[in-house]
C-alpha cells in the first residue's frame, strides 16, 4: 500500500471511519477536508505498520490526529472490529487497512523502538534516563472510554497514544517527568515516549509534538472512580442510610451511630487519604515548576474568562440558562474579593478517574488537562484549588451516576429521596477530601470558600458543554447540582 503521496481511496475511508471513533473530537460536525500530513513506515511487509498524522478540517479549523495503520492481506477475525476498509494492493488483490492499536504483533515494535531510541523519518522514540525497557511484551488496548488510547503491555507498562495532537510537549509527559525527578511517590514512573519532529508540522525550531507516553503499569491498582461507584451502590443498598451531614467542604461527618462505615458504603477514609496525596503532588509541582504570586487583576481576568465560557455554553445549551444569573453573581463576588494568590502548575482535569488506589497509597494520573481546552490553557498556571474543585465535582458525579439518564422517570417523592441519598454521600466525601487536603498542607478550602465555589461552578459549566456535545444522556448530572451550587 502506498500512503505517500496520499492515497485518495484511503482518505475517503478515513473520512468515513473517523467520526465513529470514541476519541474523535468532532463527531457531530461535518468533515470539510482530510489529508495525510505525514506517513511513516514503522514496519514494512505483511503485516505492515504505518504511522499517520491526519489533518482534519472542520468549521474552518484544522485538528491533527495520529493513527497507527495496520495493513494485511488477510485480516484475522479478532482484528475486524478495528477495520477501516479495503484498498487495492500493488500486484493485484486487496489489502485490509485497520487500526493497529488492536494488533499485538504491530504494537510490540513500539517498545523496541523506544528501547533503542530510534528515529524513523519525523517520528522519534525516546526512553527516560536509566530506563531499561522490555521488548518482549504484547499489548492489549484498555477497554476504558477515553479521548486517547491506552495500550497495556503485560503487567509492566501502559502506553498512552495521544489521538488528537496538540502543538509542543504534552503536559502529561512534561509534568510526569518533572515529578519523577522530584521523587514524587504519587505518580507512576515514566519509561519512554514518542514524539514528532516539529518541522513535520511546519514549526521549524519549535517543540516536538508528543505522540505517546510509556509509563509504569499499576497492576495492583484500582481505579478511583470504580471504588467510588462501589461505595455508592453499597450506600444506596442500605435500607436506612445515614442522615446527610452538613453541607460545604468543611462540614463535619455524620454522628458515629449513623455513620455509613457501620453499614457499608463508606468512602470517607479513602477520600481523606486522596486529599492528602493531592496536597503532596501540589507541593511537588510547586517545587518543580515554581510558584508565582498572581495579583488581584489576574484573578479578575480569570473570572472574566469564566463569564465568557458561561455565555458561550448558555447560548448553546438552553438547559443552563435558568442558572446563569445566580452563577454570574457568584463570579462577581469572587472578583470583588480578589487578592494576591499563589499560582502554579496544577493537574487541570482532576477527577476520580484520574487516581488509582494501590497497595501503597493513591497515585495520580493523566496530567494532560481538559480535552476541550487549548494547549495554552492546559499549561497555564492556576490556583491549586482548581484541582480541588474538579475532585469535588467528581464526587457529585459518582453520587448521581446511578441516576444518569433515568431520574426524570421516577415519581417526585421517590426522586427527591434518591437525590437526598446522593447528596449525603457526596457531601460526606467532599468534606473528607477537603479535610485531608488541608491537613496535608494544601490551601484550606474552608478559608477560600468563595474562590472554591466559583471554580466549582466554572467546572460545572464546562461539564454542561462537554456532556451536551459528547454524552447528552449525562447532561442531567451537572444540571442537577447547579441549582444548589448557584443558590
pLDDT reported for residue 171: 93
Confidence of residue 351 (pLDDT cuts 50, 70, 90): very high
Between these two residues, 48 and 143, which has the higher pLDDT value?
A: 48
Please name the residue that has the C-alpha cell 479549523: 61
Whether 43 has a pLDDT exceeding 90, the answer reads yes
- Cell representation of residue 294: 498572581
Q: What percentage of residues in the chain have a pLDDT greater than 90? A: 72
Bridge partners (DSSP) listed for residue 160: 150, 213
Whether 449 has a pLDDT exceeding 90, the answer reads yes
Bridge partners (DSSP) listed for residue 157: 153, 216
Whether 240 has a pLDDT exceeding 90, the answer reads no
Helices (H) and strands (E) in the chain, counts: 12, 18
CA distance 26 to 32: 11
CA distance 454 to 445: 12
Q: What is the pLDDT of residues 251-270, one digit of tens each?
A: 444 333 234 343 356 899 99
pLDDT reported for residue 200: 83
- Cell representation of residue 20: 465513529
Whether 406 has a pLDDT exceeding 70, the answer reads no
Cβ-contact 96, 47 below 8 angstroms: no
Residues 6+ apart with CB under 8 A from 482: 320, 323, 327, 457, 460, 464
Cβ-contact 27, 11 below 8 angstroms: no
pLDDT reported for residue 368: 87
Which range has the worst mean pLDDT, 266-280, 285-299, 356-370?
Answer: 356-370
Average pLDDT over residues 284-302: 97
Cβ-contact 191, 131 below 8 angstroms: yes
- Cell representation of residue 485: 451550587
**Mean per-residue pLDDT of the chain:** 89
Sign of CA dihedral 140, 142, 143, 148: negative
pLDDT reported for residue 482: 86
| CA dihedral angle for residue 174, residue 177, residue 180, residue 185, rounded to 10 degrees | 50
Indicate the angle between helix axes 224-237 and 412-439, nearest 10 degrees.
Answer: 130
Q: What 8-state DSSP symbol labels residue 382?
A: B
Q: What is the DSSP string of 429-451?
A: HHHHHHHHHHHTTSPPTTTTHHH
Instruction: Give pTM, 2 decimals.
Output: 0.83
User: What is the SS3 assignment for 275?
Assistant: helix
**What are the CA-CA distances from residue 350 to residues 105, 287, 368, 386, 458 (Å)?**
34, 20, 10, 9, 14
Residues 6+ apart with CB under 8 A from 168: 206, 207, 208, 209, 210, 375
| Strand ordering across the sheet containing 119-120 | 119-120, 123-127, 190-196, 209-216, 157-161, 149-153, 139-141
pLDDT reported for residue 370: 81
Give the burial string for 329-356 (b: 16+ CB within 10 Å, else e): ebbeebbeebeebebbbbbbbbbbbbbb
Q: What is the pLDDT of residues 45-93, one digit of tens each?
A: 999 999 999 999 999 999 999 999 999 999 999 999 999 999 998 888 8
pLDDT reported for residue 26: 87
CA distance 285 to 246: 32
CA distance 5 to 68: 17
Average pLDDT over residues 265-294: 96
Q: What is the pLDDT of residues 9-38, one digit of tens each?
A: 999 999 999 999 989 988 889 999 999 999
CA distance 50 to 71: 8
CA distance 228 to 268: 10
Amino acid at each position: 500500500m502506498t500512503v505517500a503521496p496520499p492515497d485518495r481511496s484511503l482518505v475517503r475511508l478515513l473520512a468515513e471511519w473517523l467520526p465513529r471513533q470514541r476519541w474523535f473530537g468532532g463527531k457531530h460536525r461535518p468533515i470539510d477536508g482530510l489529508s495525510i500530513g505525514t506517513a511513516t513506515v514503522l514496519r514494512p511487509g505483511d503485516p505492515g505498520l504505518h504511522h499517520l498524522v491526519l489533518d482534519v478540517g472542520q468549521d474552518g479549523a484544522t485538528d491533527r490526529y495520529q493513527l497507527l495503520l495496520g495493513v494485511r492481506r488477510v485480516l484475522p477475525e479478532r482484528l475486524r472490529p478495528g477495520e477501516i476498509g479495503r484498498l487495492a494492493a500493488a500486484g493485484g488483490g486487496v489489502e485490509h487497512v485497520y487500526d493497529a492499536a488492536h494488533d499485538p504483533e504491530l504494537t510490540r515494535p513500539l517498545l523496541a523502538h523506544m528501547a533503542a531510541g530510534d528515529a524513523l523519518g519525523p517520528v522519534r522514540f525516546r526512553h527516560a534516563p536509566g530506563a531499561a525497557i522490555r521488548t518482549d511484551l504484547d499489548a492489549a488496548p484498555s477497554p476504558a472510554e477515553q479521548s486517547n488510547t491506552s495500550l497495556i503491555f503485560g503487567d509492566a507498562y501502559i502506553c498512552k497514544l495521544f489521538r488528537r495532537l496538540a502543538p509542543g510537549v504534552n503536559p502529561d509527559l512534561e509534568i510526569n517527568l518533572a515529578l519523577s525527578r522530584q521523587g514524587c511517590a504519587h505518580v507512576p514512573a515514566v519509561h519512554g515516549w514518542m514524539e514528532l519532529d516539529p518541522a513535520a508540522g511546519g514549526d521549524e525550531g519549535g517543540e516536538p509534538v508528543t505522540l505517546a507516553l510509556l509509563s509504569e503499569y499499576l497492576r495492583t491498582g484500582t481505579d478511583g472512580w470504580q471504588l467510588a461507584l462501589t461505595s455508592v451502590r453499597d450506600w444506596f443498598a442500605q435500607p436506612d442510610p445515614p442522615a446527610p451531614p452538613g453541607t460545604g467542604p468543611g462540614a463535619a461527618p455524620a454522628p458515629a451511630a449513623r455513620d455509613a462505615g457501620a453499614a457499608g458504603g463508606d468512602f470517607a477514609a479513602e477520600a481523606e487519604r486522596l486529599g492528602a496525596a493531592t496536597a503532596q503532588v501540589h507541593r511537588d509541582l510547586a517545587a518543580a515548576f515554581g510558584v508565582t504570586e498572581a495579583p488581584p487583576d489576574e484573578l479578575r481576568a480569570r473570572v472574566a474568562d469564566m463569564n465568557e465560557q458561561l455565555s458561550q455554553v448558555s447560548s448553546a445549551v438552553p438547559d443552563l440558562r435558568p442558572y446563569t444569573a445566580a452563577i454570574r453573581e457568584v463570579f462577581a463576588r469572587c472578583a470583588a474579593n480578589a487578592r494576591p494568590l499563589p499560582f502554579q502548575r496544577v493537574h487541570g482535569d482532576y477527577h476520580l478517574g484520574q487516581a488509582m488506589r494501590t497497595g501503597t497509597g493513591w497515585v495520580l494520573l493523566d496530567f494532560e488537562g481538559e480535552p476541550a481546552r487549548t494547549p495554552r490553557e492546559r499549561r497555564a498556571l492556576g490556583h491549586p484549588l482548581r484541582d480541588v474543585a474538579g475532585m469535588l465535582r467528581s464526587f457529585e458525579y459518582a453520587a448521581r451516576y446511578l441516576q444518569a439518564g433515568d431520574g426524570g422517570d421516577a415519581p417526585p417523592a421517590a426522586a427527591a429521596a434518591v437525590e437526598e441519598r446522593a447528596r449525603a454521600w457526596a457531601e460526606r466525601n467532599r468534606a473528607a477530601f477537603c479535610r485531608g487536603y488541608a491537613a496535608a498542607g494544601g490551601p484550606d478550602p474552608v478559608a477560600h470558600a468563595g474562590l472554591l465555589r466559583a471554580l466549582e461552578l466554572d467546572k460545572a459549566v464546562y461539564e454542561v458543554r462537554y456532556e451536551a456535545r459528547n454524552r447528552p444522556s449525562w447532561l442531567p448530572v451537572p444540571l442537577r447540582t447547579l441549582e444548589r451550587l448557584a443558590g
